[in-house]
Amino acid sequence: MNGNSWGIEVTNSDKHAHDSFALKLPILVIFILMITYTDTTHAQPSEQQEPRTEIPLTLGLGGATHRFGVSINIAYPVSFQTFAFEFLYLAEVKVPLGEAEQPPASKDIEYSLLYGLRMEGSSGVASISSGLSIVKSIHVFSNGPSSFSLPLIYTVERGVSVAIPLRIQLILKTSEHFGFGFTYFSSFNSHYNYDGIVLSLRRVIN
């Protein structure tokens, strides 16, 4: 776990903010380039075409620092806007140390309602969105090193908080209904701020 979780240690907050910004900067640059080179002439349907309701379903697999992540995003695009619901599951990655007992993994589960802007062209889709989310957290803190001879002692803290999520998604189209890319995610809440990247697989449902 990072030292800034749940306010137990605040001395590393500046470092975490710097690392978070360092990760966001290249993502934002790529996002701008994606918009620049996307052929927006295909973004709007022609007058002869009947309007279609398309529901993009995106599955993500990746994570954050020392964490494994899975996401499910269901969006409803309207012109250059997008409305979405997303489920994000993050679990701490535990490395077994011999036969020593390990404390349970820390977890964060986030349910987000998102609103954002999107640009779609013949080659891909780019979007940036934010909104409100609920984060259910289970954070585990070990009270000392693991030992074969001493009993394992750890502290479990549970909580629910309201958060502000941020999502930046870049998808390259392989066909009219399929695409792949990545999604940058971050969550700002009162307990534990986190961010990371998931590889995304997108399927459009008509």
Q: Tell me if 144 is assigned to some domain.
A: yes
Per-residue exposure over 118-134, b if at least 16 CB sit within 10 Å of its own CB, e if not: bbbbeebbbbbbbbebe
Q: Is 48 part of any domain?
A: no
Query: CA-CA distance, 41 to 16, in Å (whole number)?
Result: 41
Angle at 4 between CA 15 and CA 23, to 5 degrees: 45
Q: From residue 59, give the alpha-carbon distance in Å to each of 32, 95, 149, 179, 204.
A: 23, 26, 44, 11, 12
Per the domain annotation, does 47 fall within a domain?
no
Domain enclosing residue 89, as ranges: 5-42+56-205
Give the Cα separation of 170 and 128 in Å (integer): 9
Q: Is position 17 within any domain?
A: yes
pLDDT at 32 over 60: no
Could you give the C-alpha distances from 145 to 2, 102, 103, 153, 158, in angstroms and in order? 17, 10, 11, 9, 22
Rounded to two decimals, the pTM is 0.74
Count of domains forming the chain? 1
What are 92-113's pLDDT values in tens digits? 887 766 666 677 888 999 999 9
For the chain, the residue count is: 206
Token readout for 115 is: 């609103």
pLDDT in tens, 49-106: 555 678 999 999 998 878 899 999 999 999 899 999 999 999 988 776 666 667 788 8
Q: How far apart are CA 80 and CA 118, in angstroms?
A: 5
Q: Is residue 35 part of a domain?
A: yes
Give the tens place of pLDDT for each residue, 177-190.
999 999 999 999 88
CATH, residue 68: 2.40.160.20
**Please, what is the average pLDDT of the chain?**
78
Strands 154-173 and 124-142: antiparallel
Task: Please state, in angstroms and rounded to a whole number, the distance separating the CA atoms of residues 90 and 73.
Answer: 15
- The answer to the question of residue 150 being in a domain is yes
Residue 12 identity: N
Residue 49 lies in a domain: no
Listed residue (148, 170, 162) closest to 191, CA to CA? 162
Q: By the 8 A CB rule, do 1 and 92 touch?
A: yes
- Classify residue 111: in a domain, yes or no: yes
